[in-house]
Structure 1
Amino acid sequence: MANFEASVQLTGTPEQIFEFLIDTDNILKISPPDTGLSFTNKPDKLYQGAILEFKIQGFGKVQEGTHEIIKFESPELYTEKQISGPLKHYVHEHHVVANGENEVTVIDRLEFEPPSGLLGFLITETKLLDLFDEGFYHRHNALKALFS
């Protein structure tokens, strides 16, 4: 199992940041445009047990996926797990940590495993780490523009 972690410092309360992050329309606003992320089924806001069905552009084709929110502790944490999708395993923890008055750190922790078989030769751990690095760089800069 491979891991990835990225974090960003923001101005706001944990409640403000958490509420922004669980609004599924906001997920689209902070996602890199070149991923082509679109939801085919989603709630307005995330909650324990929520299901997200989506399409995303990756490795030259549109990939479909389904994630479930398996842990939800407002306003500190929610965790999404891939139910179906291109990776063999994918869990994403979204942490919101108070650093003092009106200062918050958002920490994204991923645990993943590249696909097996022939696809695994193209979608390697190294390629995925590079994609995650680029994607969270964009996401965190978008959050800083909104909360700084």
Structure 2
Amino acid sequence: MTRFEVVTAIAAPPTRVFELCLDIATHTALGERVVGSAGGVRDFGDTITFEARHLGLRWRMTARVVVHSPPGLFVDEQVSGPFRRWRHEHRFASDGDGGTVMHDLVDFAAPLGPLGRLVERVVLDRYLPRLVRVRHDHVKSVAERR
């Protein structure tokens, strides 16, 4: 299992950043397609299925919001998809100056035992943090525009 963190300072209040991160439009703007959902903003217990192309392959993942504590924390976990395990913790803290420190902690494990662990080390340990940083940059850009 692999764990990584991505932290970003955003010049917007935590409530705004929290809501943007739960807004499905934020995800679809980055090339993901929603193929199953109950609405526009996710809440505790909601599930959502995204489809996207990564590493040249089309992936589909269904995740459930298992913790929802606005505006400071939500956690989603894979219900079905490409990983043996996927847990994504999203934290939002005031920076004391009207902005937000957005902190993501991801725990994941690839399937396929030893082969999956090799793929984690060789590919996913670099690819996934970079992907989360791109998402952080997008949220920062949208949050700071308004």
With the shorter chain as reference, the TM-score category is 0.7 to 0.9
Shift of 1:61: 2.1
2:36 pairs with 1:41: yes
In structure 2, the partner of 1:123 is 119
TM-score, scaled relative to structure 2: 0.87
Counting matched residue pairs gives 143
| Cα distance between partner residues in 1 of 2:130 and 2:9 | 17
Aligned to 2:101: 105
Structure 2 distance, partners of 1:41, 1:106, is 27
Which segments of 5 or more consecutive residues in structure 1 lack a partner in the other structure?
A: none
Q: CA separation in 2, counterparts of 1:59 and 1:147?
A: 28
Distance in structure 1 (CA, Å) of the matches to 2:91 and 2:128: 17
Amino acid at match of 2:25: D
Does 2:53 match 1:53? no
Which residue of structure 2 aligns with residue 77 of structure 1? 73
Sequence identity (%) = 22
Provide the rounded CA distance (Å) in 1 between the counterparts of 2:65 and 2:113. Answer: 28
Q: Partner residue of 1:146? A: 142
Structure 2 distance, partners of 1:126, 1:96, is 30
Moved more, 66-75 or 55-64: 55-64
Q: CA RMSD in A?
A: 1.9
Q: CA deviation at 1:117?
A: 5.0
CA distance in 2, matches of 1:134, 1:97: 22
Equivalent position to 1:64, from 35, 39, 60: 60
Q: Is 2:23 the partner of 1:23?
A: yes
Residues 62-109 of structure 1, C-alpha deviations (whole Å, 9 max, x = no match): 122110000000000110000111110000001111111312111111
Counterpart code for 1:28 = T
Contact 1:12/1:102, CA 8 A, preserved across alignment: yes
Question: Structure 2: any 5+ residue segments left out of the alignment?
Answer: none
Q: Aligned-pair distance for 1:118? A: 8.4
TM-score by length of 1: 0.86
Following the alignment from structure 1 to structure 2, what is the Cα–Cα distance between the partners of residues 137 and 71?
Answer: 22
